[in-house]
Structure 1
């Protein structure tokens, strides 16, 4: 049997990624909903539809600073209007003069009515006088105080916002599953909503395991590895919207690991461990969490998944509260890929967010690449929009160099289990990563 045939046979023994994800995500449920004050709701996901109890705007109001008037007065059809010879653009080449009978600000509350030939000076947001149907912008006038000359006549309705024009009462503002953005907070507040029912942000605890680990601020030496994983995974969980807590480093001590995980179940909706998922002599996480007790299997199942990089993943529950736990590999690049394909969807599902997976596009590959047989590879890449539409994708460092590739990537190419070579010019799937640059 050839080496490639051996590799394919070994890969056939692995669990397909889609099957594995399906089996894991079916075991998770969104967190129970909470009624939160509007100021605390940002970043959460709505647990129920939200309907406007009041209209927005709540009353007829001026949209610009200017003069509230009757359009028939300024268009030449009203009474009591004075026409003054002018070289500018009023009706018939003349300006229009109106008496200014008062000022209205945003805090004005007494109802007033316009009479023919009169107007009110108004600020943006001020309630409109009864019978007013146009606001002439200040810059289209001589800005008079007792009387004003209008040089340019707007269309009827200009500068006016009618009650309920944007959002009538009873409007469906957002459906369950919608992310509460700053703009949505403003919409809720403007229509009179002070509380909303949301799914809480999941509390995610991150634990790095291994006797070899040392904290950041120093370089790795033989027998020592700087703990990059717990810092990176805490940032990744926070990016999804979780309340992320980095516990730090746990040595390969069975009782210490059990005790630490048990303690963290009191404040966690999800625990993520990194390291110790393989089958080597030092892989303590797998040995402890998958250990059988009598006839009962361990709380966490470790699976060899057809995933590259990083095939060993664990999932189960720990503690009396049966808090979900995701176990990721110790290699930093593999841990981050494992987070993308397993932990990130789990966090989104707990938060009630939809969809749980990142958005993807189809893109034209700029260079030919190879991929391991029988494994679904996630390769860091740079994706760009093409002139005229569509996308191109440039592969970056993958495999054992995935970490350096991820630092530059704004996407992840997804190469299927049957893909061993992807030719330049072919079309591939690309997951779009969050980037604020």
Structure 2
């Protein structure tokens, strides 16, 4: 955001979005570290570096099913060489015969040694015999049992995995801040790690407020609005990596709201409310949570932010434990955009994840769009990679308030405070959304 954009927002009585986010996120801290069993660590973020206690592979082993041999016995035309018609792509007129002196499987543990002219039949994962430096795949042989004929000579070291070839003991497997993926779980387990220290997934409670709200399973009608927000925000929090809990609907009752929030602090690292953030007669959340008590300000500060849609956002803490609370607008489209802009970064920060914001790209705009002056707009859009490199972005019909547009979008087109129109062909910023399609 430029200084000019900041000044324009201030003139409108609005807080620039970048300033607001900075002031909120500086008040949050990552959750305390937790030692977890490896089976529970997926989806969390490491709180410290992880060092390999053991090598991987832990011993020399066969990488393929075949015959473990000494390379000089099969490559140099030694005493095991005989002359027969070529087969299976071997050298014409030459093959090698070795005595098979035993079989080794993945469960074999006794050390054995090769002698000249001999080999062992081995399964993938089996420990290599001492002196073996090549494994000949079974398809390159006649698959003999007492003796085997080898029709094709591999390079030295083929089919062999040496101790520590992939990971050496003492190597750093992952740095603090790394997301624990299924593949990382495999690496940690393979090197002998059973526990890791992580930042726990934040427990996020979602509350929808409003006398007009009714639960899903029916249609809206005058005086009644189906609660889409708490369901959508619960899914969004889970997508962000949180342990999300939907409390449901809370009426515009001051004591009921205070009591509900106080109860939820016992199981929440973050509370998200939706509805009641404006200044109208029915906006009870703002009225209750921002109310001064004596000389003390209310626990939540509501700010009119240079954001479109949904300028009114709230942030503060509630309860004796001072659990952070994010208050989002009641309009479903504005609530979803508010979640992306404010709540999602808060969840990532609590989880110790970096970066806290979604990735963004610069994209070629396919359609001219207009935007309200002095506000930073986030508009649902479809992003595609261009064949020659780079991206294109197509704004979706209906603007930022449409739920159908948000459902179809794989990105959010970002139009700055000074932008009132962006022409087709111009380059714009786009936030990339997670879409598992």
Normalised by the shorter chain, which TM-score bucket?
A: over 0.9
Q: CA deviation at 1:86?
A: 3.9
Q: Is the 8 Å Cα contact of residues 81 and 94 (structure 2) preserved in structure 1?
A: no
CA 1:243 to 1:3, structure 2 compared with 1: closer, same or farther past 3 Å?
Answer: closer
Distance in 2 (alpha carbons) for counterparts of 1:318 and 1:78: 82
Secondary structure of the 2:349 match is helix
Q: Is the 8 Å Cα contact of residues 66 and 122 (structure 2) preserved in structure 1?
A: yes
Q: Is the 8 Å Cα contact of residues 45 and 178 (structure 2) preserved in structure 1?
A: yes
Distance in 1 (alpha carbons) for counterparts of 2:406 and 2:418: 24
Q: Is the 8 Å Cα contact of residues 82 and 98 (structure 1) preserved in structure 2?
A: no
Secondary structure of the 2:68 match is strand
Secondary structure of the 1:325 match is strand
CA 1:305 to 1:220, structure 2 compared with 1: closer, same or farther past 3 Å?
Answer: same
Q: Is the 8 Å Cα contact of residues 54 and 192 (structure 1) preserved in structure 2?
A: yes
Distance in 2 (alpha carbons) for counterparts of 1:276 and 1:416: 26
Q: CA deviation at 1:95?
A: 1.1
Secondary structure of the 1:400 match is coil
Q: CA deviation at 1:397?
A: 3.2
Q: Is the 8 Å Cα contact of residues 106 and 123 (structure 2) preserved in structure 1?
A: yes
Q: Is the 8 Å Cα contact of residues 271 and 323 (structure 2) preserved in structure 1?
A: yes
How much is the aligned-residue C-alpha RMSD, in angstroms? 2.8
Secondary structure of the 1:56 match is coil
CA 1:4 to 1:320, structure 2 compared with 1: closer, same or farther past 3 Å?
Answer: closer
Distance in 2 (alpha carbons) for counterparts of 1:427 and 1:37: 47
Q: Is the 8 Å Cα contact of residues 274 and 330 (structure 1) preserved in structure 2?
A: yes
Q: CA deviation at 1:76?
A: 2.3
Q: CA deviation at 1:84?
A: 4.2
Q: CA deviation at 1:30?
A: 0.2
Greater Cα offset, 412-421 or 79-88: 79-88
Greater Cα offset, 74-83 or 232-241: 74-83
Q: Is the 8 Å Cα contact of residues 68 and 121 (structure 2) preserved in structure 1?
A: yes
Q: CA deviation at 1:5?
A: 15
Q: Is the 8 Å Cα contact of residues 411 and 433 (structure 2) preserved in structure 1?
A: yes
Greater Cα offset, 286-295 or 1-10: 1-10
Distance in 1 (alpha carbons) for counterparts of 2:149 and 2:4: 88
Q: CA deviation at 1:251?
A: 0.2
Q: Is the 8 Å Cα contact of residues 71 and 133 (structure 1) preserved in structure 2?
A: yes
1:217-269 CA-to-partner distances (Å, cap 9, x unmatched) read 00001000000000000000000010000000000000000000000000000
Distance in 1 (alpha carbons) for counterparts of 2:254 and 2:376: 33
Aligned length: 437
1:188-234 CA-to-partner distances (Å, cap 9, x unmatched) read 00001000000000000000000000000000010000000000000
> Where do 5+ consecutive residues of structure 2 fail to align?
none
Q: CA deviation at 1:402?
A: 3.0
Q: CA deviation at 1:405?
A: 1.1
Q: CA deviation at 1:403?
A: 1.7
Q: CA deviation at 1:428?
A: 0.3
Q: Is the 8 Å Cα contact of residues 87 and 94 (structure 1) preserved in structure 2?
A: no
Q: Is the 8 Å Cα contact of residues 5 and 374 (structure 2) preserved in structure 1?
A: no
Q: TM-score, normalised by structure 1?
A: 0.97
Q: CA deviation at 1:77?
A: 5.1
Distance in 1 (alpha carbons) for counterparts of 2:34 and 2:319: 24
Distance in 1 (alpha carbons) for counterparts of 2:237 and 2:282: 27
Q: CA deviation at 1:80?
A: 4.8
Secondary structure of the 2:148 match is strand
Distance in 2 (alpha carbons) for counterparts of 1:304 and 1:382: 29
Q: CA deviation at 1:93?
A: 2.8
Q: CA deviation at 1:340?
A: 0.1
Distance in 1 (alpha carbons) for counterparts of 2:197 and 2:3: 57
CA 1:139 to 1:346, structure 2 compared with 1: closer, same or farther past 3 Å?
Answer: same
CA 1:400 to 1:139, structure 2 compared with 1: closer, same or farther past 3 Å?
Answer: closer
Distance in 1 (alpha carbons) for counterparts of 2:75 and 2:422: 69
> Where do 5+ consecutive residues of structure 1 fail to align?
none
1:369-399 CA-to-partner distances (Å, cap 9, x unmatched) read 0000000000000000000100000001354
